[in-house]
Amino acid sequence: MKKQYLEIGKIVSTHGIMGEVRVQPWCDDPALLEELDTLYYDDRGRRPLKVLSGRVHKNIVILKIEGITTVEAAQAVRNRVLYVDRRELELEAGSYFIQDLIGMRVYDADVPEHCYGTITDVLPTGANDVYEITDANGVKRLVPAIPQVVLETDVDGERMVIRPLKGLFDDEN
């Protein structure tokens, strides 16, 4: 089941004396946080906060949040994780939220009953992401998230179908 509220960053420190906070973004593009009007302190949307302004500064986002007007108030929310309502975001076709991929079962395209394991991490490499797949024995394998390998991604069904490149898994032909 897809989460409605997604982790998008963490308040890591204060900025200046007017209550601004520095946020470490957990998204591909830090500028996304500049565009959002509402974020949440919880993963159920019960604790909204209004974002008055934001700007990116060296891969950190500086936010001005309504009601936080002093450095002391900003210090009080330090280390808080921020969430966004997925309805506020639009993804390009073929793009996915990492949180929707984690835990997804990965199957072989040629032997459909063969499950390689579950996705336990997504590693950005620059050229393409790499999926870390962990099998039932705890063995981790890395799979490039490229069209030649990843043939199907069913987020709602929590299922991915891959055809590994020859030599990708050292224990197979």
pLDDT tens digits, one per residue of 50-67: 999 999 998 899 999 999
DSSP-derived letter for residue 165 is P
Closest among 11, 21, 10 to 72, alpha carbons compared: 21
Position 2 pLDDT exceeds 80:
no
Looking at the whole model, is its pTM more than 0.85?
Answer: no
Q: Label residue 170 by pLDDT band (50, 70, 90).
A: low
Which residue segments constitute the domains of the chain, with CATH numbers given?
5-86 (2.40.30.60), 98-162 (2.30.30.240)
Give the pLDDT score at 1.
62
Phi, psi of 48 (to 5 degrees): -75, 155
